[in-house]
Structure 1
């Protein structure tokens, strides 16, 4: 096997990642011990989920309460899930931000992820 094979493999993986359609929607990070959750949304769901998991794993997550629970309970006490994907009204155009905004409001009302019930600190749950 030549030394260029891993580079081509990485390049192919990057190309496949870029070409895969982005899903917009709602995600949850749930503490399975306490039931507390972090509710989030994004126009690209898998990016924030990966980022949250990575930041928690290196001890650098900006949400101190979530990081403290992760450190205390360990990664097996948390579930990372896609709760709902935006179904675009126009399949060709893809999901629109206003459709995601409406979905955010439904999930905020449904879960109330603040205070004792969750890790969210304010009602803006959209990841950039």
Structure 2
């Protein structure tokens, strides 16, 4: 069971934090979706998120005025030799940023 756990790979992809009151969003690509989402929630809750604008509005309007969801998953390649998916995640994030910006959604400043 321990070996099986160690062989498990975390889900990779892009997630979004979306504001319900001003339609702004924060998008992030990550090699570990579950970990990054949990970290984002924790940082926002305790006032330590690196995006100051998002953090300020989270504190001002509260958690219930935001949703956090996975936009897309990045699958691991069958070729086990590939271990670095950084560029793939950057590209996937840019694709989603372009797609969402066409809908008129604003982004939190980086």
Name the TM-score, length of structure 2 as normaliser: 0.77
User: 1:60, CA displacement in angstroms?
Assistant: 2.0
Task: Identify if the C-alpha distance between structure 1 residues 59 and 96 changes in structure 2 by more than 3 Å, giving closer, same or farther.
Answer: closer
| Higher share of residues assigned strand | 2
- Write out per-residue CA displacement over residues 35-72 of structure 1, whole angstroms, 9 at most, x where no aligned residue: 11001011111122111111111122222211111111
How many pairs are equivalent? 104
Task: Identify if the C-alpha distance between structure 1 residues 88 and 17 changes in structure 2 by more than 3 Å, giving closer, same or farther.
Answer: closer
Gaps of 5+ in 1: 1-14, 122-128
RMSD between aligned alpha carbons?
Answer: 2.6
Whose radius of gyration is greater, 1 or 2? Answer: 1
Gaps of 5+ in 2: none
Task: Identify if the C-alpha distance between structure 1 residues 117 and 47 changes in structure 2 by more than 3 Å, giving closer, same or farther.
Answer: same
Q: In 1, distance between residues paired with 2:62 and 2:22?
A: 13
Contact 1:24 1:85 in 2 (8 A): yes
State yes or no: 1:70 paired with 2:81.
Answer: no
User: 1:87, CA displacement in angstroms?
Assistant: 2.4
Name the TM-score, length of structure 1 as normaliser: 0.67
Structure of greater relative contact order (alpha carbons < 8 Å, 6+ residues apart) = 2
Q: Match for residue 100 of structure 2?
A: 111
